[in-house]
Amino acid sequence: MHREASGTLQRHVLDIEFAHCYGQHADWLAAWFQRRLACNGAASELAQEVFLRLYEQRQQLPAIREPRAWLTAVAHGLLVNHYRRVDLEKAYLAALSSFPSDNTPGPEQKAVLFETLLELDQCLRDLPRKVRYAFLQAQLEGKKQQEIAGDLGVSLSMVKKYIAQAQKRCSGVEQAALNFSNLDARQRLMSSRALATMPRFSRRAVLKSLAVLFGSGGLFYGYHRSDYSADWTSAKGEIQTQILPDGSELTLDSDTAVDLTFTATQKLIVLRRGRVMINTASTSRTNDLKPMVRTREGFVQAMGTVFSVEQGAQSTLVEVFEDSVQWLPLASGDTHLLKAGEQAEFGRYGLISHQTVSGEKSAWVRGLYVASSVTLKEWAAEMNRYRTATLYCDKAVESWLVSGTFPLNQPEVALMALQDALPVQLIQHNTLAASGPVLLVARDQAE
């Protein structure tokens, strides 16, 4: 039962992840195509095709760190195919015009023939010129292999190798071969001429273009992750509480950025950086959607609860103060249920550590830091969340224990209280800059 519920949650998460990605990037991708195409209709169709491919591969979504780079790579491939199709259509129409009108295919046959040409071009596009020439001359124009060898200046055995190489590449297009078998000699010649005008597909040029596009995709992704595009942000030293559309409370700790996607089918909070506290709205209906938090390592699903989520450098810390939450890692591993009074650190592949947590850890929401026998190094790290100037500890004092309640919105007052509680003093690294970094050292006992 647990495994079935876990699978259902994972599928639900993947659908939410896809919907969020679509909502965040659909307009941007459509504009990307519109800048490169004269036809808005074609741009819209290609953008939808990209997302269709993404949906078919949505199991990969959790591992995609830069969505716009991935979307751009797929979009570029579709754009290359689009231009190739346009060029082939021009060549096809030019070849048609060179034949008497009484010998040209009808509208339905034209459409079938063109789709067949597209399939063959897909197979032949990256083959060497001589291989393509030998295949087209032998299969479509009916030339003898000895003649082809003379045209190319190679041996007869080499021509046979060329044709075998092309036939192997086209082995999956039996329908194309069947379609061509119904053409007369002139129509085969027309098809051969259309395909012969198409240039060889340059992988090097495409890879070069992809490198540029990945660069621009990275720039777009960097913008997307910046404060300018985040839905809600808090400044250094600021703690703010927002009311979500469903009535839940979301408190942003100092220097935090989040994105929101609240619809009829999902309530998603994307934590870009920092720490948030969620107090879900009470409801009498058990089937109501609860907020879900997405970090770089996974998803935290609320189950009618009060909990915090912190985005670390390479992990996510979840602390539960009421009820319970469920954690789903991005890459692999089982889901984890955390109950009130528990905290856990997760990586992309699962659980890193698990321990109890006291209600005092939630005091930051009220602008307080309740320290209970924490090391001075830990205390300084917590205060650094709220100070613009970095606070360092001398190794001689970093293991000293600190207890007490300290105001987070007044870090300098907290430092004064610390000096009253412990024999430590501050050393300003730069006396000309009051906001410069400071060092905590042991105070001379004679003072």
Does the global pTM surpass 0.75?
Answer: no
What does each of the 447 residues of the chain score in pLDDT, given as a tens digit? 445 555 556 666 777 777 778 878 888 888 888 888 867 778 888 888 888 888 877 777 766 777 888 888 888 888 877 877 777 777 767 766 666 666 566 666 666 667 767 777 777 776 777 887 888 788 777 788 888 888 888 888 888 888 888 877 776 655 555 555 556 666 666 666 666 666 555 444 444 444 433 443 433 333 344 454 578 889 888 999 999 888 899 999 999 999 888 777 778 898 989 999 999 987 656 567 888 898 888 889 898 789 999 999 889 999 999 999 998 887 666 788 999 999 999 987 788 999 999 888 999 999 999 998 999 999 999 999 998 888 888 888 989 999 999 999 888 888 888 888 888 888 865 544 445 677 888 776 544
Distance of CA 369 to the CA centre of its chain: 35
Domain covering 367-442, topology: Phage tail protein beta-alpha-beta fold (3.55.50)
273 token code pair: 């950086």
From-to residues of CATH 3.55.50.30 in the chain: 367-442
Look at strands 267-279 and 306-311 and give their pairing. antiparallel
What angle is formed at CA 386 by the lines to CA 422 and CA 295, rounded to 5 degrees?
125
Under 8 Å between Cβ of 101 and 186:
no
DSSP β-bridge partners for residue 261: 268
From-to residues of CATH 2.60.120.1440 in the chain: 232-361
Which helix (H) or strand (E) covers residue 439, if one does? strand 438-442
Instruction: For tokens 């100070």, name the residue.
Output: 387
Cα(68)–Cα(70) distance, integer angstroms = 5
In sign, the C-alpha dihedral spanning 225, 226, 232, 236 is positive
CA distances for 219 relative to 72, 214, 225, 227, 294, angstroms: 12, 9, 10, 14, 22
Question: What local confidence, expressed as pLDDT, does residue 272 receive?
Answer: 87
Question: What local confidence, expressed as pLDDT, does residue 191 receive?
Answer: 67
| Domain 232-361 bears CATH identifier 3.40.50.720 | no
User: Could you count the other beta carbons within 10 Å of the beta carbon of residue 290?
Assistant: 18
Which residues lie below 8 Å from residue 308, measured CB to CB, with a gap of 6+? Answer: 275, 276, 277, 278, 317, 318, 319, 321, 361, 362
Which has the closest alpha carbon to 118: 175, 60, 53, 35?
A: 175
Question: What local confidence, expressed as pLDDT, does residue 369 receive?
Answer: 93
What angle is formed at CA 362 by the lines to CA 360 and CA 365, rounded to 5 degrees?
130
